Chains A and B, each alone.
Chain A
Amino acid sequence: MSQVTLPPPDRASIAGKFLPPQEHVPLIVVGAGTAGCAAAIEAAKAGVSVMLVDENPVSAGLVGMNVPLYFGGRATNAVQTPERLVERVLEANPALAEAFELGVDVRLSTSVWGAWVKGPGLNHLGAGLAGLADEEKSWMVGFDRLIVAAGARDLNFTFAGSDQPGVMGAQGFHTLLAGYDAFAGRRLAIVGSGDLALQTAETALAAGLDVAALVEVRDAPQGPANRVAALAEKGVAIVTGHVPLEARGNAEGVAGLVVVDRGDADRRQEIACDTVVMAVGAVPVIELLDVLGARREMAPGRGGHVPMSDEGGATSLEAVFVAGDCARLGQDAAASGRRAARAALASLGKASSVPAAARDASGPAETNGQPEGDGLAYQLDWARAMLATGGEEVLACICEDVTRGDLLGVKPPRYLGWRSNAIARRDLVTLAGDGPVNQDQIKRLTRACMGPCQARRCREQVALMMAIGAGEPAESVPLAGYRAPVRPLPLSVLADWQESAEMDEGWNVWFGIATQWIGYEDIGTTREAEQLAAGMPY
């Protein structure tokens, strides 16, 4: 006979705690850019109810935190009243009007901060579940199919002074200028010379802004020669073989960018500008897909870490599809959106209304931010040159005040003030000696990528720095995992103020195993029985 005292049956597990969501739709599309709108329109035409969710226009608070894009403190006061920006966002995106007309349930200024499907560890889920939020509240929406068309964000490299207003990303610039009509800068220095940088320069000039220079680490501009020449004719300096060294500033932020010859730290020049736009590359926004647990791969030709998907955008998860830049940078976003919609509908047993060939032939291909042919090698050129010229004192993670040197030395965060010989002997090389370096491990040890911008300004460059420091291929550094909420949400907004009675009654601080907390001395005595009868202490 067993001598063990068993606890009462478990009432504290997740079983029965969650109510089914109040809303359920057959299809949610995340992101109302070109790909997302195309997907939503395609599905709506087939008679399927679609919810199309887009976080734009985002609140001024998030703009200030550089979420979801690197806005770099160069927004006008227009972002203080996002409700007024809605009209502007609609003007900038005619496809949204078409979606509205087709009856798509369009939710603007609404973010999707998490999404989950039934699987190992989430057996309690029935249908798919998406977490939505606006400025006031969060709520859950059930779905049968989800299409993620979250686009791209900015690839960033920090340099001295880049933590001041006026340093921003190309995607952030484009959103402020074209999406919100709320860009506050006048004169730009653009870092990069590939397609993304050229587009940025062309857009800026067309908007009547000054473009002082394009800065390129390699010896030749990366984009088409005719477009580069056209910019040069308009007075844009093409500075090759150089990288940013330091942003000089004043009370308003950036006032000039000092660039340095990548092979000779004494050869510098200062470019007068109020804005530095980082346009070296873009990064597929895969955060929701990672939270969902979709399988991913490192594919430099598609933009880096991307979901594994087939031609139709099907992922490793039956209910989840991808379209646009988050699946493959630079692909024809509209066509990929339509393909994903058709694949999602087919998986629900519904057919699309128009033959495929008729639609996919039309519309210009979008080539925004196409990755360079040699992928990470180009990014590594930037990282190496900026490390060599700028040194180890430059912040690699702005939010958490982690320098490149802290990263290479795997140093504990500065606020601990920790010094010891033992820790001085540790660095990325010794860590790599114990096994392949892992960015999640480096996060926890140095805090790089742990800040409120959720690593949007540092994730990729930290991985590159780790590869350099450890002497490992950049492709081999595992992705630092994304976790919900993928947007920073106030506790009061995220909170579930309408949870079930079962949640409240069954809530326990740990597992609610009464026998676990009986004092050791009391085990097997009458005091044990008394305490078990009295229940948990709190």
Chain B
Amino acid sequence: MSEKGTSVVIVGGGVTGLSAAWWLARSGVEVTVVEKGIVGFEASGRNGGGCTHYQSPLFHEEQRLWPEMDELLGYPTEYQRGRIIFQVDPRKERFHEGLSLRLPKGYDWEVLIPDDVRALVPLAGDNVVSGVRFHFGGHANPQRTAQAYAWAAQDLGVKILQHTAVRGITAAGGRVTGIETAGGTIGCDALVVAAGPQTGKLMAMLGIDLPMAPARAEMIVTEPLPMMPFTGVDGNGLYGRQTLRGNLAYGGGPHEWFDDVGLEDAPPKPSGSVTRSLARRVAELLPKAAHARVIRSWAGVVENTPDGRPVIERLSAPDNVTVATMSSVGFGLSPASGHAIRDLVIDGACSFADLSKLSLKRFDGLRGDWRVHLNWLPPEPVGAVAAGA
């Protein structure tokens, strides 16, 4: 495949697809992104903004790229380096021991005693039991970053078609030749599918089974508070951050599985039902912020594969298709996932990481009732009236 004049269609205007578009365009590839709604409007722009994913084969590239992203993109991402995690539940006092088993070598981190935590996190209280500080990782602003990818890609000539849903995929001679939309067919030499919860349905159009299940998760945000010296702070069962505006934005806790989400419509994203349990945990984590007023909540819809791990793969048949689902953990890894997709599309292999364990092949022979087996099902309604009430 020649680098010049190649036409790649990317289905999905979330951070993974947009990053891939930007990376491909940096290599001179002609790219069209097709997005059913607005760029970054689903989970890509509705998450905790974390950039610390040491479980991933893309971790090293994630850590290498984030400090450079503002400059590379030419638009702000609000990336801030570092992460403090601390606990207020005495049962979790030694949580760093479990962490130490999992953190890759070569990354600097330390255990913090409660006084250290309070010095860096003035909103923390007397209930701190222990903490850790990572001198790597960090957080960024999801919506601003998603738009930054889109604008930076456009600056390199990428065409972004918003409000354009994919209705079919055309193939001939064992290769994909284009996609069908309401506005007509768009031909391509190569196809990238990075469409979040809709990725499975799109792969099904090619007769390929990519098992995934969609679910909704929630976050809350407070009014702005004075900036803490360190903003990448979470723990107590929460993920989140203090934004550069000063708001506390936190998520965590129960998710609700959907049966299915539509291919063309934005999935429903009601929020507020987990709000009170989130508020409690934020007030426990940061007791000196307990007076802060919650001014919003939001929900996002993400997909998970049966083992919760991504699929990032250039298919063998049709061999001009690359598929990527990040299995609910895509935002922070997006600088690296886009690079990986670029490599797969252009070179057929990722230049900086082994991705072989993220192949779709691992699901061959997966039990048909896997969602039932894993209890990944929409909940039954609870009773209407409290007993005795």
User: Which residues 472-507 of A sit at the B interface, judged by CB distance below 8 A?
Assistant: 483-485, 488-492, 494-497, 499, 503, 506-507
Q: State A413–B370 Cα separation when bound (angstroms).
A: 46
Whether, in the assembled complex, A250 has its beta carbon less than 8 Å from a beta carbon of chain B, the answer is: no
List of B residues within 8 angstroms of A131 by Cβ: 272, 275-276
Whether, in the assembled complex, A14 has its beta carbon less than 8 Å from a beta carbon of chain B, the answer is: yes
The answer to whether residues A444 and B143 also contact, given A15-B379, A510-B328, A517-B55 and a CB cut-off of 8 A, is: yes
List of B residues within 8 angstroms of A18 by Cβ: 273, 382
List of A residues within 8 angstroms of B224 by Cβ: 452
Chain A interface, >50% SS class? loop
Whether, in the assembled complex, A2 has its beta carbon less than 8 Å from a beta carbon of chain B, the answer is: yes
List of B residues within 8 angstroms of A6 by Cβ: 306-307, 370, 373-374
Interface pair B273/A515, CB less than 8 Å apart:
no
The answer to whether residues A22 and B386 also contact, given A13-B256, A519-B55 and a CB cut-off of 8 A, is: yes
Whether, in the assembled complex, A471 has its beta carbon less than 8 Å from a beta carbon of chain B, the answer is: no
Q: State A441–B142 Cα separation when bound (angstroms).
A: 12
CB of B162 to closest CB in A, whole Å: 4
List of A residues within 8 angstroms of B102 by Cβ: 517, 519, 531, 537
Encoded as 1 (CB less than 8 Å from any A CB) or 0, chain B from 14 to 39 comes to 00000000000000000000000010
Whether, in the assembled complex, A24 has its beta carbon less than 8 Å from a beta carbon of chain B, the answer is: yes
List of B residues within 8 angstroms of A496 by Cβ: 276-277, 279-280
User: Which residues 10-46 of A sit at the B interface, judged by CB distance below 8 A?
Assistant: 10-24
Which candidate, A80-88, A122-130, A268-276, A382-390, is the interface stretch facing chain B? A122-130
Whether, in the assembled complex, B298 has its beta carbon less than 8 Å from a beta carbon of chain A, the answer is: yes
CB of B60 to closest CB in A, whole Å: 10
Q: State A4–B296 Cα separation when bound (angstroms).
A: 39
Interface pair A508/B85, CB less than 8 Å apart:
no
Interface pair A506/B254, CB less than 8 Å apart:
yes
Interface pair A516/B327, CB less than 8 Å apart:
yes
Q: State A511–B238 Cα separation when bound (angstroms).
A: 12
Interface pair B143/A494, CB less than 8 Å apart:
no
Which candidate, A164-172, A185-193, A419-427, is the interface stretch facing chain B? A419-427
Q: State A119–B385 Cα separation when bound (angstroms).
A: 18
Interface pair B99/A537, CB less than 8 Å apart:
yes
CB of A340 to closest CB in B, whole Å: 22
With an 8 Å Cβ cutoff, the count of chain A residues facing the other chain is 101
CB of A101 to closest CB in B, whole Å: 26
Interface pair B363/A4, CB less than 8 Å apart:
yes
Encoded as 1 (CB less than 8 Å from any B CB) or 0, chain A from 107 to 136 comes to 000000010101111111111010100000
Whether, in the assembled complex, B144 has its beta carbon less than 8 Å from a beta carbon of chain A, the answer is: yes
Q: State A412–B75 Cα separation when bound (angstroms).
A: 9
Interface pair A2/B365, CB less than 8 Å apart:
yes
Interface pair B362/A2, CB less than 8 Å apart:
yes
Which candidate, B178-186, B285-293, B338-346, is the interface stretch facing chain A? B285-293
Q: State A7–B237 Cα separation when bound (angstroms).
A: 19
List of A residues within 8 angstroms of B217 by Cβ: 510-511
Interface pair A491/B289, CB less than 8 Å apart:
yes
- List the A residue with the shortest CB-CB distance to B222: A491
Q: State A114–B292 Cα separation when bound (angstroms).
A: 18
The answer to whether residues A422 and B87 also contact, given A412-B144, A483-B271, A520-B357 and a CB cut-off of 8 A, is: no
Q: State A454–B56 Cα separation when bound (angstroms).
A: 38
Task: Name the one of B95, B154, B268 contacting A537, with C-beta atoms under 8 angstroms.
Answer: B95
List of A residues within 8 angstroms of B222 by Cβ: 491
Interface pair A538/B85, CB less than 8 Å apart:
yes
Whether, in the assembled complex, B269 has its beta carbon less than 8 Å from a beta carbon of chain A, the answer is: yes
Q: State A2–B143 Cα separation when bound (angstroms).
A: 38
Task: Name the one of B38, B237, B297 contacting A438, with C-beta atoms under 8 angstroms.
Answer: B38
Whether, in the assembled complex, A293 has its beta carbon less than 8 Å from a beta carbon of chain B, the answer is: yes
Whether, in the assembled complex, A447 has its beta carbon less than 8 Å from a beta carbon of chain B, the answer is: yes
Interface pair A423/B75, CB less than 8 Å apart:
yes
Interface pair B294/A494, CB less than 8 Å apart:
yes
- List the B residue with the shortest CB-CB distance to A497: B280
Whether, in the assembled complex, B361 has its beta carbon less than 8 Å from a beta carbon of chain A, the answer is: yes
The answer to whether residues A423 and B74 also contact, given A7-B307, A22-B386, A495-B279 and a CB cut-off of 8 A, is: yes
The answer to whether residues A17 and B254 also contact, given A24-B385, A125-B273 and a CB cut-off of 8 A, is: yes
List of A residues within 8 angstroms of B252 by Cβ: 507-510
Interface pair B327/A422, CB less than 8 Å apart:
no
Interface pair B293/A516, CB less than 8 Å apart:
no
Interface pair B38/A441, CB less than 8 Å apart:
yes
Q: State A116–B297 Cα separation when bound (angstroms).
A: 14
Encoded as 1 (CB less than 8 Å from any A CB) or 0, chain B from 261 to 279 comes to 0000001111111111101
List of A residues within 8 angstroms of B387 by Cβ: 20
Interface pair B38/A485, CB less than 8 Å apart:
no
Interface pair A121/B38, CB less than 8 Å apart:
no
Whether, in the assembled complex, A138 has its beta carbon less than 8 Å from a beta carbon of chain B, the answer is: yes
List of A residues within 8 angstroms of B118 by Cβ: none
Task: Name the one of A20, A454, A490 contacting B386, with C-beta atoms under 8 angstroms.
Answer: A20
Interface pair A124/B258, CB less than 8 Å apart:
no
The answer to whether residues A9 and B308 also contact, given A14-B256, A293-B268, A495-B276 and a CB cut-off of 8 A, is: no
User: Which residues 352-389 of B sit at the A interface, judged by CB distance below 8 A?
Assistant: 354, 357, 361-367, 370, 373-387, 389
Interface pair A454/B381, CB less than 8 Å apart:
no
The answer to whether residues A538 and B92 also contact, given A2-B363, A6-B374, A116-B273 and a CB cut-off of 8 A, is: yes
Whether, in the assembled complex, A513 has its beta carbon less than 8 Å from a beta carbon of chain B, the answer is: yes
Whether, in the assembled complex, B203 has its beta carbon less than 8 Å from a beta carbon of chain A, the answer is: no
Whether, in the assembled complex, B283 has its beta carbon less than 8 Å from a beta carbon of chain A, the answer is: yes
Task: Name the one of A16, A140, A490, A499 contacting B291, with C-beta atoms under 8 angstroms.
Answer: A490
Interface pair A508/B329, CB less than 8 Å apart:
no
List of B residues within 8 angstroms of A415 by Cβ: 244-245
Q: State A434–B162 Cα separation when bound (angstroms).
A: 7
Interface pair B308/A491, CB less than 8 Å apart:
no
- List the B residue with the shortest CB-CB distance to A123: B378
List of B residues within 8 angstroms of A10 by Cβ: 257, 374-376
Interface pair A4/B380, CB less than 8 Å apart:
no
Whether, in the assembled complex, A1 has its beta carbon less than 8 Å from a beta carbon of chain B, the answer is: yes
List of A residues within 8 angstroms of B327 by Cβ: 516
Interface pair B255/A13, CB less than 8 Å apart:
yes
Q: State A499–B255 Cα separation when bound (angstroms).
A: 16
- List the B residue with the shortest CB-CB distance to A15: B379
List of B residues within 8 angstroms of A422 by Cβ: 74-75, 151-152, 155
- List the A residue with the shortest CB-CB distance to B254: A14
Q: State A510–B55 Cα separation when bound (angstroms).
A: 14
Whether, in the assembled complex, B233 has its beta carbon less than 8 Å from a beta carbon of chain A, the answer is: no
Q: State A126–B386 Cα separation when bound (angstroms).
A: 11
Interface pair B268/A120, CB less than 8 Å apart:
yes
CB of A118 to closest CB in B, whole Å: 6
Task: Name the one of B295, B375, B383 contacting A20, with C-beta atoms under 8 angstroms.
Answer: B383
Whether, in the assembled complex, B134 has its beta carbon less than 8 Å from a beta carbon of chain A, the answer is: no
Q: State A441–B42 Cα separation when bound (angstroms).
A: 11
The answer to whether residues A426 and B151 also contact, given A4-B366, A434-B162 and a CB cut-off of 8 A, is: yes
Whether, in the assembled complex, B67 has its beta carbon less than 8 Å from a beta carbon of chain A, the answer is: no
Whether, in the assembled complex, B347 has its beta carbon less than 8 Å from a beta carbon of chain A, the answer is: no
CB of B316 to closest CB in A, whole Å: 17
Task: Name the one of B59, B272, B289, B385 contacting A484, with C-beta atoms under 8 angstroms.
Answer: B272
- List the B residue with the shortest CB-CB distance to A139: B276
- List the A residue with the shortest CB-CB distance to B365: A2
Interface pair B295/A454, CB less than 8 Å apart:
yes
Interface pair B98/A538, CB less than 8 Å apart:
yes
User: Which residues 321-354 of B sit at the A interface, judged by CB distance below 8 A?
Assistant: 327-329, 354
Task: Name the one of B104, B215, B258, B296 contacting A483, with C-beta atoms under 8 angstroms.
Answer: B296
Whether, in the assembled complex, B209 has its beta carbon less than 8 Å from a beta carbon of chain A, the answer is: no
Interface pair B364/A508, CB less than 8 Å apart:
no
Interface pair A490/B55, CB less than 8 Å apart:
no
Further 14 A-B residue pairs, CB within 8 A, beyond A3-B364, A14-B256, A15-B377: A11-B375, A13-B256, A20-B383, A131-B275, A413-B245, A420-B75, A483-B298, A490-B291, A490-B292, A492-B291, A495-B280, A513-B307, A513-B308, A515-B308
- 4 pairs of A and B residues whose beta carbons are closest in the complex: A516-B308, A484-B272, A513-B308, A496-B276
A-B contact pairs, 16 of them (CB 8 A): A4-B306, A12-B253, A17-B254, A121-B267, A420-B74, A422-B155, A454-B296, A491-B292, A494-B279, A495-B276, A507-B252, A515-B309, A516-B55, A523-B357, A534-B101, A538-B85
